[in-house]
Structure 1
Amino acid sequence: MSAPLVQARDLAKTFDVSPPWLNRVLEGKPRLLLNAVDGVSFEIEKGKTLALVGESGCGKSTVARLLVGLYEPTRGDLVFDGADAHAVFKTSQGKDLRRRIQMIFQDPYASLNPRWTVEDIVGEPLQEHGLISDAGERKARVGELLKSVGLAAQDMTKFPHQFSGGQRQRISIARALATEPEFLVCDEPTSALDVSVQAQVLNIMKDLQRQRGLTYLFISHNLAVVRHVSDQVGVMYLGRIVELADKHALFGNPRHPYTRMLLDAIPKMHDTGRARTPVQGEVPNPLNPPGGCTFNPRCPHANERCRTERPKLLEIAGVRVACHAVEEGRI
């Protein structure tokens, strides 16, 4: 078997959210460090989709920004196509690597420059990376890219405010595809859209993946969307992956109590007589996470070991799961 295209190894990102130095001195307060991502590891094979799911604030978007080089990791490394990506980003080859890794952002209203026409927006990567210098060729290429995402070539003369949210996200996808990338990081690309428009955008992304052999990291909090697009699913909680499994294994037989809690909260079409189980408790303050397993205050299976010892992500029956209860066979 060939090596995975993308390998994240113990990726971590810590932010210093302390008050200013003078305030800390006068008020006698310590520095505050936020571990947004705390030791995340996964692999994505070429042409496949890994989805990351979890509640808001669990570190999904920080992982996305680490993968495209917008953030530098505090610890760990990212291997892309056999090379250390963050080391390459700092060299003269960094631009070539950025061409191969692109990102689709969450908010189509914030990620497009309102003063630029669609031709300028989609054509900018072509110009920036020196792929097409001739203006006529660039215009023709922008028209092809717009057609590939279900828009018309004539739309290139318009401005972003003349489009709906779903159309804007298609423009974002066309811009991401301009450099012919191999790996797309999709940070909740459909969360700001209506349900019917979500389906259209997701179908376009799946078609593009089949046609171009694209590899996706797909970030979402919507498990129905994840079920539709992913091959593998990683469940995140407070900056860590607590379960990583094949899509069918995760939805058919979830192992981690948090994964079970998330799936129990989804309305089932056939279980009309059964009451939905709401997600219990609240996510702890990430500035002061619980000791041991960070999920233990909300977990019905927690014992003393869970409160004192941090579980490792172990492979158990083909599924990677970080849970003492699963490891000991208590659930």
Structure 2
Amino acid sequence: MSALVEVSDLAKTFDVSAPWLNRVIERQPKLFVHAVDGVSFSIEKGTTLALVGESGCGKSTVARLLVGLYSPTRGDVQFDGQATNASRNAAELRTLRRRMQMIFQDPYASLNPRWKVLDIIGEPLREHGLVPGKEALRQRVGELLQQVGLAAADCDKFPHQFSGGQRQRISIARALATQPEFLVCDEPTSALDVSVQAQVLNIMKDLQKTQGLTYLFISHNLAVVRHVADRVGVMYLGRLVEVAPKAELFGSPRHPYTRMLLDAIPDIHMTGRARTPVQGEVPNPLNPPSGCAFHPRCPHANARCSSERPALTRFQGIEVACHAVQEGRI
């Protein structure tokens, strides 16, 4: 299968300095956060890549870079062989943007409370000129609502008349309005109850089968990732530390951080295997550790880990950034 999305050496740096006058008076330097720091991956057509990691590791920034809400500091994103950067002309960018959409994390914040559902889902249809006239718009919105398990009559209601799970279905319907090929899902179920999460995830899996959608799925819930992903990328402090097929990652994780994340899942079957609890705190991103960013928390770290940053390299069918794995110490 060919890759629909290819990301190479993607980076995003944010200036978080104090105002200029404060810096002059207090003699402070400028401060930068490397939210995403050289991330590379590809997603094949019709598959799901999940990005996981602790809060603040850069997952949502990657999502926003992919759909063009942020412009990258360096690196580029290729969609179906075409660059998505701002150097392209407006018409080409518009066509590309129509083919990729985003589902946001909070269904309460991502829908305009003053608009009816007809206007919310109809906006991308009007914006891209996809339906002629009001009657066709209403009919198309009704079809989209039915696709996500809601009724066509719901188009005359306001967001406050729906539950969280129903709101997220409206968000999915809005994302599907332009018939995209690629959906970026930024923790689309984290604000929902567990029973509702399952319904929304099943809708997304069914849509993927029927429409051949490609997903980048961002989550910190490994149980959700296990349900939806084909491949999993593990992020730590703005960098990918391991990328592997789902079965490989859950069956035999290589990177110590991946092992730590998996050991944090409750052992319902009481298998009795040795588990390493998650230790330490995520370092301050304003002052990251030298070498491998994970070395202060890693039980396998040595002098090389604290001085030399490991590159993401192919190793026995997976990609891993770890000196200990490459040297055979674990």
Answer yes or no: same fold by TM over 0.5.
yes
Task: Give, in whole Å, the separation in 2 of the partners of 1:79 and 1:261.
Answer: 33
Aligned residue for 1:294? 293
1:272 is displaced (CA, Å) by 6.3
Structure 1 residue identity aligned to 2:301: A
Aligned residue for 1:176? 175
Task: Give, in whole Å, the separation in 1 of the partners of 2:195 and 2:272.
Answer: 27
Aligned residue for 1:155? 154
Task: Give, in whole Å, the separation in 1 of the partners of 2:68 and 2:132.
Answer: 26
Aligned residue for 2:132? 133
Aligned residue for 2:34? 35
Task: Give, in whole Å, the separation in 2 of the partners of 1:267 and 1:77.
Answer: 38
1:270 is displaced (CA, Å) by 1.0
1:278 is displaced (CA, Å) by 3.0
The structure-2 alpha-carbon separation of the partners of 1:323 and 1:273, relative to structure 1 and needing over 3 Å to count, comes to closer
Task: Give, in whole Å, the separation in 2 of the partners of 1:258 and 1:91.
Answer: 42
4+ residue segments displaced more than 6 Å = none
Task: Give, in whole Å, the separation in 2 of the partners of 1:290 and 1:238.
Answer: 10
Aligned residue for 1:318? 317
1:118 and 2:109 matched: no
Q: Higher mean Cα deviation, 88-97 or 164-173?
A: 88-97
Structure 2 residue identity aligned to 1:221: H
Task: Give, in whole Å, the separation in 2 of the partners of 1:330 and 1:275.
Answer: 18
1:61 and 2:60 matched: yes
Structure 1 residue identity aligned to 2:31: L
Residues 89 and 95 of structure 1 are in contact (CA less than 8 Å); yes or no, is this contact kept in structure 2?
A: no
Instruction: Give the secondary-structure state (helix, strand or coil) at the position aligned to 1:93.
Output: helix
Residues 88 and 94 of structure 1 are in contact (CA less than 8 Å); yes or no, is this contact kept in structure 2?
A: no
Task: Give, in whole Å, the separation in 1 of the partners of 2:118 and 2:5.
Answer: 31
1:86 is displaced (CA, Å) by 1.2
Task: Give, in whole Å, the separation in 2 of the partners of 1:272 and 1:124.
Answer: 52
Residues 186 and 219 of structure 1 are in contact (CA less than 8 Å); yes or no, is this contact kept in structure 2?
A: yes
Task: Give, in whole Å, the separation in 1 of the partners of 2:154 and 2:46.
Answer: 30
Task: Give, in whole Å, the separation in 2 of the partners of 1:273 and 1:308.
Answer: 36
Structure 1 residue identity aligned to 2:238: G
1:264 is displaced (CA, Å) by 0.4
Aligned residue for 2:17? 18
Aligned residue for 2:4? 5
Instruction: Give the secondary-structure state (helix, strand or coil) at the position aligned to 1:132.
Output: coil
Query: What is the aligned-residue identity percentage?
Result: 76
Equivalent positions of 1:72-111 (< 5 A) are 72-87=71-86, 91-111=90-110
Runs of 5+ in structure 1 lacking a partner? none
Task: Give, in whole Å, the separation in 2 of the partners of 1:10 and 1:43.
Answer: 12
Instruction: Give the secondary-structure state (helix, strand or coil) at the position aligned to 1:218.
Output: strand
Instruction: Give the secondary-structure state (helix, strand or coil) at the position aligned to 1:312.
Output: coil
Task: Give, in whole Å, the separation in 1 of the partners of 2:193 and 2:85.
Answer: 36
1:231 is displaced (CA, Å) by 0.2
Task: Give, in whole Å, the separation in 2 of the partners of 1:195 and 1:123.
Answer: 29
Residues 267 and 276 of structure 1 are in contact (CA less than 8 Å); yes or no, is this contact kept in structure 2?
A: no
Residues 88 and 97 of structure 1 are in contact (CA less than 8 Å); yes or no, is this contact kept in structure 2?
A: no
1:133 is displaced (CA, Å) by 2.7
Task: Give, in whole Å, the separation in 2 of the partners of 1:133 and 1:6.
Answer: 31
TM-score by length of 1: 0.98
Task: Give, in whole Å, the separation in 1 of the partners of 2:24 and 2:191.
Answer: 42
Task: Give, in whole Å, the separation in 1 of the partners of 2:169 and 2:274.
Answer: 38
1:162 is displaced (CA, Å) by 0.4
Structure 2 residue identity aligned to 1:129: H
1:271 is displaced (CA, Å) by 1.3
Equivalent positions of 1:42-57 (< 5 A) are 42-57=41-56
Aligned CA RMSD, in angstroms, stands at 1.2
> Residue deviations 1:225-265, cap 9 Å, x none?
00000000000000000000000000000000000000001
Residues 12 and 40 of structure 1 are in contact (CA less than 8 Å); yes or no, is this contact kept in structure 2?
A: yes
1:267 and 2:266 matched: yes
Residues 15 and 33 of structure 1 are in contact (CA less than 8 Å); yes or no, is this contact kept in structure 2?
A: yes
Task: Give, in whole Å, the separation in 2 of the partners of 1:314 and 1:4.
Answer: 19
Runs of 5+ in structure 2 lacking a partner? none
Task: Give, in whole Å, the separation in 2 of the partners of 1:91 and 1:310.
Answer: 39
